[in-house]
Amino acid sequence: MPTSIAADPHRLLPADPAVRSIARNLLDRVENLPIISPHGHVDASILADDTAFPDPATLLVSPDHYVTRLIHASGVPLEELRVGGTAEVQPRQVWQRFCESWPLFDGTASAYWLRSAFHDVFGLTEELSGANADETFDLIDSKLQEPGFSPRHLFKDFNIEVLATTDDPLDDLSAHASLAADASFAGKVVPTFRPDGYVNIDAPGWADRVEKLITTSADGLSGYGAYIRGLENRRRYFVEHGAVSADHGVRTPQTLKLTTADAEQIFERARRGEGVAGDRDAFEAHMLYEMARMSTQDGLVMTLHPGIFRNHHPGTFERFGGDSGHDIPFPVSFTEGLQPLLADFGTAKDFHLVLFTVDETVYSRELAPLAGFYPSVYIGAPWWFLDAPDAMQRYRAAVTETAGFSRSSGFIDDTRAFCSIPARHDASRRVEASFLARLVAEHRVSEERAHELIVDIVDGAPRRVFKL
């Protein structure tokens, strides 16, 4: 007999009944607060066009590397999951593969989010299996054709107040402008400036992108100075279109203050394709410093996502492109890497620097001490491989004893999977309620104060840190 996926109201709350009761009361305070999502990867055009979502596989499986990577690890070729836009198989076949692979996700965060979406959004009542793949595909597919399942309806039903996208610096942001001008759309969708492809001189297409940046946005200047002016002008364009942050997916948090002459030499070598060893790292470190300088001038919050070996498997990248499941974490040093940046900007008025990591060892050793001194530094929420219930609990325990609650960013869902947004925020709120409940039960925080804290963690922190 198929297993039910009905959501338990006590999911993720403490097993001890007395502590669970405290957590339940805390959760009640924030469970229905609006969602503030200041960093994510949903395409704004989905909401601007408000066209029906595609089939279940194209919506929930193929673009989600959280899902496809684990199925691939079991021996399923990525082309059979239509990763990277490949179309050798039909969506229904992809869904069949996914349902057959569903047991692989037991215990994972992906299983939690997907179960929540299946039950709460689409009304499924049974666990997925190879046997019910066609039935569940048809059920979800039929839901997606209903007017109540359009992107805008779901945006409202999910109680999303603010949703940030992630955008190329030369994007015209027409979808954002369309949403801002549409009186029928009550939400707020803001762009995020993401300059990685213009900063990493080894990135494929870097020279072409930089040439276009200079041609279109540098006020007629040339050379390295034009490059800097172009980035500054595009940042201002993003601010004019509602952006609140600039996001940097750099390899490491290393920062470096080069002279203009030295930076120009590296820049020109890279344009000619004559870079030497060390140029990439030095230029990226220098540009991270420069981006902080720009943030102190234009007010964009600076978010930093380092420590990922992008596109670890060359063959997969060549065939399927980026974000296809083989980005792998490695350790980095924030304390030494950020010292040049923080020496000049760490106490700058209104500069906000949000530090994310996929290395749990730096939470208590580096991030909490940095945020516990520098007014500019905030600790980003658990990210990517750490955005799971147990990891979120470890994060809160690791950073709070040094930095308290006020130095964290609030929850960041960081997702392309639109339908998982409410489930991810719900999980975070349950984890925060559970952590605070333990402090109350141990008489380390009063229950009255815990109720104040959870509202600030869920709602106040993201508004404050991202200047919303």
Mean pLDDT of 6-28: 94
Output the pLDDT for position 8: 85
- Return d(Cα 114, Cα 7) in angstroms, integer: 12
185, 47 contact by CB (below 8 A): yes
Sheet of strand 192-193, all strands in order from the earlier edge strand to the far edge? 192-193, 245-248, 301-304, 353-355, 377-379
Q: What phi, psi does 82 have (nearest 5°)?
A: 60, 40
Number of H helices and E strands in the chain, helices first, is 23, 10
Q: Is the pLDDT confidence value at 55 over 70?
A: yes
- The amino acid present at 119, given as its one-letter code, is H
Contacts 24+ apart (CB under 8 A), 443-449: 447/22, 447/25
- Pair of tokens at residue 259: 């002279």
Q: Which residues of 243-280 are buried (b: 16+ CB within 10 A; e: fewer)?
A: bbbbbbbbbbbbbbebeeeebbebbeebbeeebeeebb
* pLDDT higher than threshold 90 for residue 5: no
pLDDT in tens, 356-415: 999 999 999 999 999 999 999 999 999 999 999 999 999 999 999 999 999 999 999 999
- Dihedral sign for Cα atoms in the order 389, 69, 160, 409: positive
Domain ranges of the chain: 35-51+159-416, 55-149
Confidence at residue 21, expressed as pLDDT on a 0 to 100 scale? 98
At residue 57, φ and ψ (nearest 5 deg) are: -70, -40
Residues 236 and 294: beta-carbon distance below 8 Å: no
Which helix (H) or strand (E) element contains residue 379? Answer: strand 377-379
Count of residues for the chain?
A: 468
pLDDT, tens digit (0-9, with 9 covering 90-100), for 234-266:
999 999 999 999 999 999 999 999 999 999 999
Q: With 50 as the cut, is the pLDDT of residue 306 above it?
A: yes
Please enumerate in sequence order all residues whose Cβ is within 8 A of that of 182, keeping only pairs 6 or more positions apart, or say none. 48
Instruction: Compute φ and ψ for 17, nearest 5 degrees.
Output: -60, -40
Yes or no: domain 55-149 corresponds to CATH 1.10.2020.10: yes
At 120-162, the pLDDT tens digits run 999 999 999 999 999 999 999 999 999 999 999 999 999 999 9
Q: What is the CATH number of domain 35-51+159-416?
A: 3.20.20.140
CA distance 11 to 109: 13
Whole-model pTM: value is 0.96
Distance CA 104, CA 22 (A): 34
Within 8 A by CB and 6+ apart from 254, the residues are 281, 284, 285, 288, 337
Question: In 10 A of CB 132, how many CB atoms?
Answer: 15
Show the tokens assigned to 364: 């208590």
Q: How far apart are CA 396 and CA 116, in angstroms?
A: 23
pLDDT in the model for residue 2:
52
202 has a pLDDT exceeding 80: yes
**DSSP class of 84:** G
Asked if residue 95 lies in contact with residue 89, where contact means CB atoms within 8 angstroms, the answer is: no
Whole-Å CA distances, 324 to 69, 73, 83, 93, 459: 7, 12, 7, 19, 32
Token readout for 118 is 């299946």
Query: Cβ(190)–Cβ(242) under 8 Å?
Result: yes
Token pair for residue 468? 């919303």
